[in-house]
Amino acid sequence: MLPTLADHGEYVIEDRFSLWLFPGSLRRGELIVLQSPIEPGRSICKRIIGMPGDVICVDPTGKYAPSSEHVIIPKGHVWISGDNAAYSRDSRLYGPVSMSLIQGRLWARVSGPLALSCFFTL
């Protein structure tokens, strides 16, 4: 998730409780933690780009699919993307992702070992 999240020296706080209470509270643009759809047992962090019913361009860059190819996100699924698209494995490769794989949303980020600087809008 570079450049949004650092690859070391940073901690994140994940909110699982609000998703458990309000499963329909996910929104476009949020950072989520989910089980990898291609590597079971591995957790990944991605940004929600599309919600059920949205029409999404599969790959605006044209690297993995023609930029004219679009998909309608099915019910119970989301479209996810990494912030560093050049190096991200995301929905461009494996399509819409089941919401059942979502574990939580990123709520805060803490930088450095002693820093108490939290950013609540990721």
Write down all domains in the chain, each with its CATH number in brackets.
10-50+78-111 (2.10.109.10)
Phi, psi of 15 (to 5 degrees): -105, 110
Task: Please give the pLDDT value at position 109.
Answer: 75
Cis omega before residue 60 (within 30°)?
no
Task: Give pLDDT tens digits along the chain (122 positions).
Answer: 555 665 666 777 888 888 888 878 899 999 999 999 999 899 999 999 999 999 999 988 888 888 889 999 999 999 999 888 788 899 999 999 999 999 999 887 777 654 444 444 44
The CA distance from 39 to 26, in Å, is 23
Q: Write down the pTM of the prediction.
A: 0.81
Tokens of residue 49, six digits: 């780009």
